[in-house]
Amino acid sequence: MSDIARRALIKGAGLSALAFSVGGTQVLLSPRQAHAQNIPFRTLNAEQVETLEALGETLVPGAKQAGIANFVDQQLSVPHGEALLEARILNVRPPYANFYRAALGAVDKASQAKNGDKKFAQLTGDERYAFVDLMRQNKIDGWQGPPGPFIYLLLRSDSVDVVYGTMEGYAALGIPYMPHIAPEKRW
């Protein structure tokens, strides 16, 4: 049997798009599509979304458009045993929403203390970059909440997931994805 035939044999066997609520019904979308369609958030509030998108975009260019906030928000709404987040394999204790809320709150609090009461999303691009560079090295005095280097690791991983970890991301980089069982919606 040829390699291509082997892949085709099991193609489509997996359920891989994420379920989002639109007008009271469930639809399967990729996070990029969910972002483009302004799908309402389930778990995070508007401030948390704003911070997450700004932080994700600072960590990995393209993360905002790739739906970083929709991805995380949707994943926080499912039972932790079904979650696809990197938090799962970094020993974060469920419910994962507790960690994300604490982490995003810590980032904003430190940003306000350091930058004249401006939350992270209100910083300029250079200010955001400088802040993250200090955060990853645990060099922000008076930090409160989950450790900055761990927030950096985890949210950088989430951002890498949505930008580089999808079939679309592989295609953009020019790397063959070669799935045995392809995720649906090219996710």
Partner 1 sequence: MATLEKVDVVIVGAGASGSLYASVLAKAGKKVVLIEAGPDWQMTDLISSDMWGRRVKPSGVPFLFEGKNPYGYAYQGGWGVGGAALHYFANFPRYLPTDFKVKSEHGKGLDWPINYADIAPFYDKVAAEIGVSGDAKSEEIWRPKGQAYPMPPMKTFRNGQVWLKGLEANGIRMVPAAVGMNSVDFKGRPACIYDGWCHVGCPIGALANPTITYLADARKAGAEVRALSTVTRILTDASGTKATGVEYYDAKKEKQVQEASVVILASWAAQNPRLLLNSATDKHPKGLANSSGLLGKYMMAHYASGTWAMFDEDVENHMGTVGAQFMSYERYDKNAKKAKGAFGSTYIVAGTALKTSDLGGFANARIDLFGPKLAEFMQRAKRGITRLTAFGEEMPNIENRIEQASEKDEFGMPLARFTHSFSDEAIALWNANFDEGIEIAKATGAKEFWSARGPMPTIHLFGGTIMGEAAGTSVTNSYGQTHDIANLWVAGPGLFPTEGASNPTYTIFAVSQRGAENLVSKWGSVAG
**Binding footprint of partner 1 on the chain (CB under 8 A):** 1, 3, 6-7, 10, 13-14, 16, 58-62, 80-86, 88-91, 93-94, 129, 132-133, 136, 152-153, 156-157, 160-161, 164-166, 169-170, 173-183, 187
CB of 23 to partner 1, least distance (A): 27
CB of 24 to partner 1, least distance (A): 27
Nearer to partner 1 among residue 11 and residue 45 (C-beta): 11
The H or E element containing residue 133 is helix 125-136
CB of 58 to partner 1, least distance (A): 6
CB of 149 to partner 1, least distance (A): 10
State how far the Cα of 117 lies from the Cα of 1, in Å rounded to an integer: 64
Q: How wide is the angle at C-alpha 48 spanned by C-alphas 139 and 160, nearest 5°?
A: 65
Nearer to partner 1 among residue 42 and residue 88 (C-beta): 88
Distances (CA, A) of 155 to 6, 35, 74: 36, 18, 15
State how far the Cα of 71 lies from the Cα of 66, in Å rounded to an integer: 9
Nearer to partner 1 among residue 45 and residue 51 (C-beta): 51
Q: Decide if 30 contacts 14 (C-beta within 8 A).
A: no
